[in-house]
Every structure is written in C-alpha cells, then in structure tokens.
Structure 1
C-alpha cells in the first residue's frame, strides 16, 4: 500500500495570503485543499471544480483558463475544471499530488502568483454545491464492530456478531442515484412494514427513520475487470474521504432484509459532504491499525506492514440534530454523539482490496462508505437505533422535545475534523440533510 508521505504541503508553519485560512478554526487551512463541484447561487457560470481555502474557493476553471500551471499540474487542473471531478480522479496519484503542490505554492504567503490567483477566488458564502463527481456505484460496509455488536444485540442478544464479521469486511451494494450533497432534503420513505404481533404486513410511511454517521471513500484510479488490487497498492486507487449519512428506514428494513439484505430501507436517500479531503491531506493523521490479539487476525491478502503501522485514520466525528421547532426558534443544532474513524474494525485499504479480490472493476467516482462509525462508549453510538436502544429509551433534547427516531422537519448534521497531536487542524465541512413529510 503506497500511502501518501509528508511533504512541504503538510508543513504546519505554512500560511496562506488568504487570511481566513490562517485563523486556526477554519476547516480549510492551506494544509487541507479539498475538492468540490460548485456554482454561484446568482449569475453562475455553471458547475466546475473548486478547492477550499479558508472561506474562499479556488475556481479551478479560472485557474485553467489563466494558464497558471504547467506540466502535470496543468493537465490535472484542466481535468479538474470540469463539472465533475471524475476525469481528474482517474488520472491517479501523481496528478493529484502535482495539482496539490501547485495550488499550495500558489496560495502560500509570498507567492508570485498571488495577484493572478486572487482573480480566481469565489466566496463560499456565494455558492451552491453539487455532488463532486458522478458516482457510478456505491457500496456500504459495516466496519464498526461496536455498531455491529450493538445492532446484533437488539435482534440476537445471545449471538450479536455473526461468525464471518471478524474475518471479512462485510458490505452490500447500495443505490448511487439517490446520493445527494449536503443540504439535501427528501420525503419520508414509504414501504411495507410488519409489527411483531401482526398477522400480515401493512403499507405506509416509515415510522422508524434513522440516520447513520459514516465516512465515505471515493475511488480515483480504477482497475480492470478480473484484476485484484493488492493491499500494498490499495491507496493508490483511493482519491479521498467525505462525510456520509446513510439514512435508514428501520421498520421497513426489519421486514425486508432477510434473506438478501437492505433494499428499500436504504435506497431513498444518502447524503455526502460537498468536500473531498484527499488521502494526501490526511497523511499526518494516520494511526496504527490492529485487531485485538484474541480476535481472528486478517488473512494474508488483507495484511501488510504499512497497513498495520498506519492504516487507521484519526478523524473526530460528531452528529447533531436540529428539530423544526428548534429551527423556528432560532436554536442551534445539538450534539447527539461523537466518535472517531480510528474505531473502524477495517481500514480503507482493506475495504478496497476486499472489494476487488474477486475481480470487481472499480471506477473513478465509486463510493465506499464505512458503515456507522460507532465507538466503544454509549456516547459514541452513531445511530438513533443505538442511542435509544431500539426506540425503548427516548432522547430528551434541551428544549424538552423527545425523540426515539427522526420526525418530519428534523435536520441531521454530520461534522468531522482531524487534529490528533498535530499543530494544524483540517476539517470536512458539514453534511446536512432534512426529513420532509411523506408524499
């Protein structure tokens, strides 16, 4: 696995001439430089690639048209100037790194390109976002052993984890067409449900709507059908990470999921953050990975020295809730849980490797979600079904409202950032979605 190594773009003393990037609070200092697809909300020039710096966006189409870069960085920015980032993502690691280095140099204090780059900035407050890339396929994994155990205990108290869980990265193929960017709103899904004491199922709106706090990993460079990606090469194929909310209709899921797994309970909406934080930007926040000594150890094809040494990611995660009543009263969203990506039982490299071991051909823009990233503590349970013990223990919010599952008008916000023991903090922005009444 050829993980990104530290270089000048990670230098913690590096500052930008964009002053908002230097305040220590922004998600987007010069050490981050994440990618998105954006357009102005009024008088827009059309969606195109952009890079966040402080409270601004570098318009990559403007950079391309101005001819500010040369060599591989020029080829990369020309590709990233398109409406979607797929072509750029498919170029591979050398191109991604070349553009990051060129942007870092152009945005750094003292850059000779400052005047030219200033003409390429757009305020984030003036834009809307689209999905950063076309997402050909989407796979949802089940990578938190704590979430898997908590959910399993609700349905199988004597045997929460199925025998295969600690041997393979479990996943299912989801629906990419209903993945939307932060700000997404969607009607409450409808479907069949069956109460335990009912003789037959009934049809109607979901009554047990849930969120799931997850991370997403975007594939960059693909592989040919029949070609497996080794654990050593896996991260050469992963472009970057985003925040992900896998909305779930628990009552629909409970009736339909046997024997083939999730279907209508998961296909009505999923929400991602606009910004993709590259794997190169995440290099300072890598942590060691291992399974507990008394657990089964990963099979050889899922094992490498580098994956063990720094396959994990230290990403702080939080999920917040704002009800319609709170919103009308001008009250901010309240935190429901915090967690961390480092609790994942499987690494991104292992997910990529296992996904392709049978010959599956991945494409630029494919999305792999981690599954709910719950931690070992009760305060780190990252879905309502866990937080409320399957709806048996309602949550009381500061304004006196209670929730067992989500109600119409509720907005769920997912946030994430990396700090660890590093001097620089980088973040992912936010991933927000709102539940509307069923149609």
Structure 2
C-alpha cells in the first residue's frame, strides 16, 4: 500500500475534528486533544489546529461558496469530505497558504477519510477557490459567519457595536497570563520571559496580567511547573478583582471549575477560608490539579455539589463574599472557541437565564449581612447579564448594586460589560451586589 502524500494525514485529522464538532456536537478543544496525539510533528499539530479554528470561524461563507459551486450537495455519508473542503478553503482563504502547499495534500486526504472517489472533485473545487473570490452572500449573518439567531441578538443588544463584535469573534484571541503574586512580582516574571525570548506586554490593569505576542505551549513558559504563572484571559482576571477578597474572609467560589478563579482568589488574599464548588466531580478534579501545580491545594476546601441545592453542601455558616461565575452562553469567548457559534441554540438562552436566577436566589441566603456577591458571566447577551441582575434586585429586598470602576468595562445596567476584543480581553459581565446589614 502506498504511503499517504505528505501533509495528507494532518488534513484528514482536521476533517475528522471539524466533522465531529459540526455533526456530533463535540467540543473543539476536547476533540483536538483526542486527535492531535496521532501526529508526531508539532508543526503538523499546529497546522491542524489552525485549519480547524479557521474552518469553524468561517464556516458559513465557506458552505455558501460550496453551494454555489456544486450542482448538488455531497451525500450525507460524505460529511468528512465536506469537512475536508471547509479545511481546504480555510487554508486558502483565512490562512493564506500557497496553493501548492494545500491543494494536492487536501485532495489526497479525501482517500484517508473514505472519499477516494471524490479526490478529483475536492481538487477541482479548491482550484476554483484559487482563481475566484468566494461568492458573496446576501445575508450579513452568512457573511459574518454567525447563526441567524445570534446575529439578530447581537444587533438588538448592541446596535452600535454589533459590527465590531462580529469582527472580533472571527479574530484569534491573544494569549494572556496571570502571574502568581505569591511566587513573585510581575516585573520579575517579565524579565524571565525576556530572557527566554518570549515577546510580551504589560497592561496598566490588572497588575498581574501579561499579554504574550504569540501563542506558546504553557509548559514551555518559565516557571510553569513551579506554579509561577497561569493562563487566563484579561477579562477573566477581573472577576476576582471585582470581588476584592480581603485577608481571612470566608469565601465561596460557587461554580469553580476549571479553577482559574479559585486559584486567583487564593493568590489575591491571605488566609481565606475558601470553599470551591462544582457539580461535576471530573471538572472539580481539574481544580485540584491546577491548585496543586500552583502550590495552593492546601488552602481550598472542595466539594462536588450543585451550588443551587444548598441543603446538600452548606453548613449554615455565612460567607463574607461569594463569586458566582455563572453558567452562560459563553458568547463573549467565541473568538477562543468558535464551536460555540454552532453548538449554542437560541432556546438555550432562556434555559440558562432560569438557571442563573436559580443560583442567585439559592446562594443569597448563604451570604452574611454586609457581605457581597460578584455575579459574572462570559456572555455578552443582556438577558443573561444586566436584565438578569435587574430582575434579582427587583425581587430581593436586601440586595443593592455596588459600583465598579470604569476599568471593569462600560456601564451596563447595575453592572459593567466588556465586549470581545476591548483592551485585548474577552467579552465579560460583572455585577457586584451588596447585602444590606
């Protein structure tokens, strides 16, 4: 049997990943973790990752082009070949690879995904893409590669900002680090990055954040195994700063996994009595792993429980502060996880809003008078953010909104909203709520 053409196995893996995401509802991150180990060359792994991200970012314009260029759609049994075509268009359109580096390897990959009879078709379609611009769709939702419902929601919620949000969602996000303040100063860590030849920048706020000039493997970062630094987006870092824990407080991290904010809480204040909850034991184990790497595992109590089901986990001792990083649509982090666009459905939003309200109502009695709760989401939809908190305040007599500075984002009802790309960070919402004494 002849060996596959150079580059064909990588493109076949990309097709399998894209197909699993689109047709099976698999997580892009999880599927890449499952498939990439089959490739030994780190350059091939990076190529597959880039193809998958760009194919999913620009899925709708690519599929529109295929419908215009093909007399009939591929049979249902050839979904992997369909995914391979998306990967091929991503190489030529978004990644700007030279045609000679993409065409033959992508066409030959059709044999590896069970579409050997379609090699010629794949080659012809991709050659056409080198000669012609992609056909322009009439729909702005298609042109911007968003589902119709999400495009309409963004236009309604953010009429002056929708175009910038759509553009940001299709732009790769930068890599942000959070320096562990318990292990050293940010400036000292920046010198280590400089010595390692890793380009970076230091924003004025927050004080522990570092923006890298390019993506790198976390394990290659200086001091990674010693817990000197974590990977965490700028906007995610602001959640703990908005809650502002102080030394010795009793604090609840209500939806803790995967643990970035849990660790940040411990780094931000000394002697916290911190309880980290998550309903998924497997995800809670990731919290433990993160804390162990940072040397913080002894400082956190962990319980697998539904935060809204307080009788199963609460011992009756009130908390001084609660961080509720609530389950949400994740519409603020699409640039990092483009599969969110295709997995999320419009009717999910109402269900999520009801879950968020349930959590707020259940957790409020566990907060002491004079305490504070930080409600945060990585959503940019008003139903989950300003409207959610306004509803809670209207039905909760002893709750009041507390002010957050402009650095946390634009004023949005009782909270602050950051949109994707603003200051280089993800889309995030924060509302600080105080309990009257």
TM-score class, shorter-chain normalisation, is: under 0.3
| Bigger radius of gyration among the two | 2
Higher helix share: 2
What TM-score, normalized to structure 1? Answer: 0.21
Larger RCO (CA under 8 A, 6+ residues apart)? 1
- Normalized per residue, the structure richer in strand is 1
